[in-house]
Amino acid sequence: MMFCFSGWHILKQLLEILLCIRSLDFFRTAFVELLDKYLIPNATQPESKVFYLKMKGDYFRYLSEVASGDNKQTTVSNSQQAYQEAFEISKKEMQPTHPIRLGLALNFSVFYYEILNSPEKACSLAKTAFDEAIAELDTLNEESYKDSTLIMQLLRDNLTLWTSENQGDEGDAGEGEN
């Protein structure tokens, strides 16, 4: 009798887990649908559109960290598409010092580094964003100064880390040569 009860308990837990997974799938689908059908198309300000596209890129980047197979390819592609569209709008419509534009550059560069394993592209994007923002730092208003400079510091921190990691990798690759 005890075995049957224990087996039933395990089965019940598995069913609860499956229901949770289905609920998560529903919310995931609803979230993307909300962005794609309502928020992004109805955004009238470039800041809003870039923010929502960045959010979509971030969401798919997080999913791609745990996805596998075809699902991983799809999430990576969706993330890159959203980031790229947001990036193009931000370059045309927003100041280089705008916190949303800087946050996008930060997250898009992390995407290149962590997901696409492209440190050169990640460093180039982060460095360009940082350099363009530094050049216009004097145009910042008090309201966004703290946010912008904080994100610029994060860009610089990532550049420092990524550069040192890549130099370490290059040094490791050349150690066996004589």
Q: Is residue 51 part of a domain?
A: yes
The reported pLDDT for the residue numbered 7 is: 66
Tokens linked to 157: 């921190």
Contact 168, 119 (CB under 8 A): no
Provide mean pLDDT across the span 117-141: 96
Residues 61, 148: Cα–Cα separation, whole Å: 23
Q: Is residue 89 part of a domain?
A: yes
Does the pLDDT of residue 1 top 70, yes or no? no
| 121-125: long-range pairs with CB below 8 Å, 24+ | 122/158, 122/162, 123/159, 123/162, 123/163, 123/166
Q: Is residue 19 part of a domain?
A: no
Q: Is residue 129 part of a domain?
A: yes
pTM of the model: 0.82
Task: Give the list of residues 6+ apart from residue 67 with CB closer than 8 angstroms, or none.
Answer: 74, 75
CATH number for position 61: 1.20.190.20
Residues 116, 79: Cα–Cα separation, whole Å: 11
Q: Is residue 58 part of a domain?
A: yes
Q: Which domain holds residue 91?
A: 28-162
The CA-based dihedral angle spanning residues 52, 55, 59, 62, taken in that order and rounded to the nearest 10 degrees: 160
Q: pLDDT tens, 10-29?
A: 777 777 776 776 666 667 78
Q: Which amino acid is at 99?
A: P
Q: pLDDT tens, 78-126?
A: 999 999 999 999 999 999 999 999 999 999 999 999 999 999 999 999 9
Q: pLDDT tens, 35-78?
A: 999 999 999 999 999 999 999 999 999 999 988 899 999 999 99
Query: In which region does residue 140 sit, left (phi positive, over 0), alpha (psi from -120 to 50) or beta (all else)?
Result: beta
Contact 79, 57 (CB under 8 A): yes
Tokens linked to 2: 């005890």
Q: Is residue 154 part of a domain?
A: yes
Q: Is residue 22 part of a domain?
A: no
Contact 56, 31 (CB under 8 A): no
- How many structural domains is the chain composed of? 1
CA 149, 153, 159, 162 dihedral sign is negative
